[in-house]
Amino acid sequence: MDWSALPSTSWVCVEMKAVPWNPADMNSVQGTYAILSQSHFSPKRTVAGSSGIGVVSEMTASKDNRFAVGDWVTVAQPGLGTMRSSVWAPASSWIKISRGSELFEKHGDGISTIFQLGGTALRMLRDFQVLRPGDCVIQNAGNSGVGWMASQLAAAHDVSMVSLVRRGTRSAEKEDLCDQASLQDFRRELQLVSHRPRVLALNAVGGDSAGKLVKLLDRHGTLVTYGGMSMKPLSISAGHLIFQDIKVVGYWNSRWMLQHSLSQQQAMTDELVDL
Amino acid sequence: MDWSALPSTSWVCVEMKAVPWNPADMNSVQGTYAILSQSHFSPKRTVAGSSGIGVVSEMTASKDNRFAVGDWVTVAQPGLGTMRSSVWAPASSWIKISRGSELFEKHGDGISTIFQLGGTALRMLRDFQVLRPGDCVIQNAGNSGVGWMASQLAAAHDVSMVSLVRRGTRSAEKEDLCDQASLQDFRRELQLVSHRPRVLALNAVGGDSAGKLVKLLDRHGTLVTYGGMSMKPLSISAGHLIFQDIKVVGYWNSRWMLQHSLSQQQAMTDELVDL
């Protein structure tokens, strides 16, 4: 390490323990994502990976360093390039995971996904509509990482989740938490919660699937898009925008991270750990 | 007139002078509009017409009546059924037009359109984005009534308007006020105002046309839909919602009228008269 090249800010080296491979990482490698993996701090090479968890192994001296060697951390910086054994980056690129060791032992590699995917699910459930106990949220991509996190978060707040999935199979574990249905069953499942307000829909597919969600929203509802896995544009009826006052918006976790302070990111990470 | 059937509220009879025929009226007759013409106060028959101007010819006695015989008025009530020679309705269904006689003499029948179409244009320009002098608004249906009103309102506030129209012909009168371009010229026209922020787009067409507007908006911009003349759903790229933070919403003048007080409607009518 060429220490003289480091700026005066405190830097932290993290030994990566688990790095998830998300659709966004795939798109980034394909060159179709909005930002490329930038490896901000190693400009001569590009490294994939935008999230993950690890353990602090080394750091530069600083009075205000929030970290100690051995701390578990996750990523606070989009496009950090986490797919390497260790990552040197400014302290501001990291968020501490309280009880990280315990979580990793209990849940294994999978725990690395909850900070980005869980954060996406949490923000979408919280930032676009006020959800009250008894409300119903509908989504496609119910078996995706975010969809699955959203189902769990909804269940924890007494909000019903009905998920449109490609294949109607479901595990007993998931059945307890949410209703999942392939297209032909989706409306029937919705009938079961027809007395509940449907104010929010989460879309990661696009195309007609997004249009179907819009048609099933109540008046003044919101469709939040966080992915476009079908690679097709959303097909939205003008009538639903005009007469039902439906709003169609997007959520991008990287923007949320860039627009929010480290303490806000830390608070959300703590909340996800506690769930 | 069976006076005994009238409720105690003050009622006003208006001799209609000019009633516009809008696309929404056509859709209403076709049965494809969100509300049918209801002729609220003549339940045994249905009469078309949701806007128009007229002169107060008669009214029931009331201390708080805002009107006098001879006043010019326009409609404050969706689906009133204005396509008849005179309309009896509660006073709350009408809004006074100051200098109505003068406007009608100067502009003729056309003045009847400005309260609904101008109101739609004004609300869309004002309620979804803060427009600053120098900003640029883009729209399709630039030759429609609302599109044409929006162009004039934008020009009055030093906001550029670039309109996508089906045929690129334009009158000298319109050329002074806004840039209009058929599809092949649209991007070129936009180049001329490329230094201006494009924060708002108005869509009355749907389909790919709406998608094109979205692609040309700046980050954090808003697409407002007030019509779907192509009868095709809007085709919206997921990437623009997610990465550019574009919002897609709808505007419906009837909802605005129902959600706002008579004094707010009166204030907007006065503003449109003064333009």
Query: In chain B, which residues have their Cβ closer than 8 Å to the Cβ of A252?
Result: 242-243, 245
Helix (H) or strand (E) holding B125: helix B116-127
**Tens digit of each residue's pLDDT (9 = 90 or more) over A40-96:** 566 667 788 889 999 999 998 776 678 999 999 999 988 888 999 999 999 999 999
A181 pLDDT exceeds 70? Answer: no
Would you list the DSSP string of A90-108?
Answer: EGGGEEE-TTHHHHHHHHG
Distance CA B157, CA A163 (A): 46
- Which residues of B are known to be catalytic? 33
Give the torsion through C-alpha atoms of A53, A59, A62, A66, to 10 deg.
20
Domains of chain A: 12-98 (3.90.180.10), 115-254 (3.40.50.720)
Task: Quote the pLDDT of residue B174.
Answer: 52
Q: Output b/e per residue, B178-203; b: 16+ Cβ within 10 A.
A: bbbbeeeebeebbeebeebbbbbbbb
pLDDT value for B163: 87
Give the pLDDT confidence of B111-141 residue by residue, as tens digits: 998 899 999 999 999 999 999 999 999 999 9
Q: Is some CB atom of chain B closer than 8 A to the CB atom of A175? A: no
State both tokens at B136: 């640029």
The answer on pLDDT for A161 being more than 80 is yes
DSSP-derived 3-state class of residue A233: coil
CB contact under 8 A, A238 and B206: yes
Average the pLDDT over each of A20-24, A130-134, A210-214, A259-263 and give the range with the smallest value.
A20-24
Q: What is the mean pLDDT of residues A11-28?
A: 90
Average pLDDT value for residue range B146-166: 89
List the single residue in B203, B210, B247 with the smallest CB-CB distance to A247. B247
Contact across the interface for A249 and B248, Cβ inside 8 Å:
yes
Q: Using a CB-CB distance cutoff of 8 angstroms, which residues of chain B are in contact with residue A127? A: none
Cross-chain Cβ contact B233/A235 below 8 Å: yes
Cβ-based contacts of B240 with chain A (< 8 Å):
250
The yes-or-no verdict on residue A1 having pLDDT over 70 is no
Q: Count other Cβ atoms within 10 Å, centred on residue B79.
A: 22
Residue A270, min C-alpha distance to chain B (Å):
25
Strands A94-96 and A72-75, by their bridges, are antiparallel
DSSP code, position A77 = S
> By percentage, how much of chain A surpasses pLDDT 70?
85
Residues sharing a CB contact under 8 Å with residue B103, sequence separation 6 or more, in sequence order = B72, B97, B111, B273
Whose CA is closest to B120, among B37, B51, B18, B213?
A: B51
Q: Do A242 and B225 touch (CB under 8 A)?
A: yes
Give Dmax (Cα) for chain B.
65
pLDDT at A270 over 80: yes
CA dist., res. B275 & res. B273, Å (int): 6
Sequence-distant (6+) residues with CB within 8 A of A192 are A179
Q: Which residues of B touch A228 (CB under 8 A)?
A: 237-239, 242
Q: What is the mean pLDDT of chain B?
A: 86
Note whether A250 contacts B237, CB cutoff 8 Å: no
User: Residue B120 has what pLDDT?
Assistant: 96
Per-residue pLDDT band at A232 (split at 50, 70, 90): very high
Instruction: Check pLDDT > 60 for residue B105.
Output: yes
Between chains, do A252 and B243 touch, taking CB under 8 Å as contact? yes
Put simply, the answer to whether A241 touches B225 (Cβ < 8 Å) is yes
Nearest chain B residue to A246 by CA distance is: B249
Alpha-carbon A250 to chain mean position? 13
Give A87's strand partners.
A14
Report whether pLDDT(B172) > 80: no
What digits encode the pLDDT tens for the residues B196-226? 899 999 999 999 999 999 999 999 999 999 9
pLDDT level of residue B171 (50, 70, 90 thresholds) = low
Smallest CA–CA distance from A245 into chain B, residue:
B250
Q: How far apart are the first and last CA of chain A?
A: 39
pLDDT of residue B7: 54
Q: Which of A203, A235, A242 sits opposite B235 (nearest CB)?
A: A235
Question: Is residue B189 over pLDDT 90?
Answer: no
Predicted local confidence at residue A25, as pLDDT:
84
CA gap A163, B236 in Å, rounded: 22
Query: Which chain A residues contact residue B234 at CB under 8 A?
Result: 234-238, 241
Q: Which of residues 21-50 of B touch A (CB under 8 A)?
A: 34
Residue type for A128, please? F
Phi (first) and psi of residue B113, to 5 degrees: -85, -20
pLDDT at A48: 86
Structure tokens at A179: 């209703």
Top-confidence residue, B59 or B32: B59
Candidates A34, A211, A251; nearest CB to B239: A34
